[in-house]
Chain A
């Protein structure tokens, strides 16, 4: 009888235990599903909005390149080729394509179908291939951003909008004639920023980001690892090291804009370093990343089993040899992961860079760490703030590209960890 009772009680206890395990599993699955769902929603909305930015509308024109203008007396020289008024060729071609536009006003609005970048494109084409001179060529001219949006169906013509009724009709006519083409938007990947959305690209911001990251990692990785090793392996544990530890943890929680203010006050005002430069941005972000690397590094070093240290010390290894030969190789995957996560955070950081002038409008592609530059997240911020409709999709596209970089970095972190991981 009593035996039966205990079995019943044990059975009930077991059922309860199973039930609570099941419940816990379900909670876990729900929370992961919520997190994944949010991520998918973010990427999905960005992708659906930004996808169209990877295409750009072009107007295919038959352009005459008169030999008399481009090569007077049969001579071809670069200076003439640069000075020639290419716009007139494009306009002439457009007028033949759409005949009967007589008034000056109408003509001007007809010319507005083309982007100002089309002229530059034609010039480059001719400069690169002078054999074209004297021929009638097919040229894909970049359409202006409003026409681009019209073709993509984001806006409609007339009703006091950006595109007039007449322009809409012309575009329709061109489309029917097969003169409108959507092509892969190379400008987006090869250009710097521009006031014209159809010419604006992220290459300048990408270079800025790369240069800034270069400075950040170059500074924060060695400093962070050295600090972590010193604190974890060499420093005596006393009140001072406790104080330092608490302050490093505090530093990791300081809002990033504060680092920007520090950069402004110290590096720009006091040391007189150049404004808007990846050098200063990199230093500021390195200061911000440093605590993350130190904390991750210490955790990784602390996780190395003490028996390995004892074995090495017992073999007569010096403290430096213990760390370099045994502890650091084992802790390296963890340190690397911490560094990449810190760098990824720095890559997405905007606020501190606003303070040091990396928010300026910069058209040129930066070539060194002292050139004026902006970075991807700031570029996104700038575009998101622009009134043109065409910048909306470009903002989303730039966000997608930034996300791609972040995902790549995390992938690298995972691969590195797998590669360097050693079991003991």
Chain B
């Protein structure tokens, strides 16, 4: 599928379904010229977001490549979280929030009326800034998603999903002997990894992370960064971070937001070595933000 075929359209104007099968396009890694290239997993075109009368995002165009990490950076209040929350339609739950423009996953419009938002959120998982495990046992925390989406046939399969998710999140060793104790009793870093395990238990295609390390100490942060690097092999990851080193370490693509505008988006190496915009330059060298 060539990206040239891709016509930006507003969410409301787009005809239902656009006739593109998301599964078929998701597998294609080869463009018309026969050259292998990274597939675009998610894309935003001309995205405007309003909170009441106040506009928070202005005409954002951004592509998220598959099986890689995209970092969103920028000063506080520039709209990084807002953008992230558009990607799995968490903004729907905020009264007075209005989204205009076009966001696609595997070429299908996520604001399509025919699309089931609950199903969308199983494809796009989310990890929040503050660890927020359910006040249930560690096991139940991870098992919750598979349970409500019927991903496990029996208890054995569920056990398997839970342990393998905890394993992938690098938490299994620490909690293997106390799966029935409350998830809220873990340390902050462990709780955050529990939240990551919970998110990957439903095998999403995309994982959104909003400052997942901001409440953690350097060791726990290093843990999670390693984890993100491993998860990249199977998942598409979008991460918001205030930590420039972190963005440089974990991401392949970086997008710099400023006052609701996407200033610059490029490969991480490019952004951190030779940014094209002087605002980006100023931000990453710590002159403001």
Contact = CB atoms under 8 A, between A and B. Distances in A.
Interface in A65-105: none
Interface in A312-339: 312-318, 321, 325-326, 330
Nearest to B208: A314
B132 interface: yes
Give the interface centre of A312, A316, A423 by most chain B CB atoms within 10 Å.
A316
B289 interface: no
A131 interface: no
A423 B128 contact: no
Contacts of A316: 118-122, 145, 148-149, 202
Most B CB contacts (10 A, CB to CB) among A314, A317, A326 go to: A314
A422 interface: yes
A310 interface: yes
Contacts of B88: 314
Contacts of A305: 132
Contacts of A326: 134
Given A307-B128, A316-B118, 19 more contacts: A305-B132, A307-B132, A308-B132, A308-B134, A310-B90, A311-B128, A311-B195, A313-B93, A313-B121, A316-B145, A316-B148, A317-B144, A317-B148, A318-B118, A325-B148, A422-B135, A423-B184, A424-B135, A424-B184
B260 to A, nearest CB: 22
Contact of B125 (A236, A308, A314, A424): A314
In terms of DSSP, what is the predominant structure of the interface of chain A? helix
Contacts, number: 63
Interface centre among A312, A315, A317 (most CB of B within 10 A): A315
A359 B162 CA distance: 63
A237 interface: yes
Contacts of A315: 121-122, 125, 144-145, 148, 198-199, 202
Interface string B25-36: 000000000000
Nearest to B149: A316
Interface residues of A, number: 22
A261 B157 CA distance: 61
B177 interface: no
Interface of A: 236-237, 305, 307-318, 321, 325-326, 330, 422-424
Contacts of A330: 135
Interface residues of B, number: 26
A314 B126 contact: yes
A311 B133 contact: yes
Interface of B: 88, 90, 93, 95, 118-122, 125-126, 128, 130, 132-135, 144-145, 148-149, 184, 195, 198-199, 202
A302 to B, nearest CB: 14
B275 to A, nearest CB: 32
Contacts of B120: 316
Given A237-B95, A321-B148, A423-B184, A312 B134 contact: yes
A236 B133 CA distance: 27
Nearest to A326: B134
A314 B121 CA distance: 6
Contacts of B95: 236-237
A305 B127 CA distance: 16
A26 to B, nearest CB: 39
Contacts of B198: 311, 315
B259 to A, nearest CB: 26
Central interface residue in B133, B144, B149, B202, by most chain A CB within 10 Å: B144
A326 B132 CA distance: 12
A325 B134 CA distance: 10
A315 B133 CA distance: 11
27 contacts: A237-B95, A305-B132, A308-B132, A308-B135, A310-B93, A310-B128, A311-B128, A311-B198, A313-B90, A313-B121, A315-B121, A315-B125, A315-B145, A315-B199, A316-B118, A316-B120, A316-B121, A316-B122, A316-B148, A316-B149, A316-B202, A317-B118, A325-B144, A330-B135, A423-B135, A423-B184, A424-B135
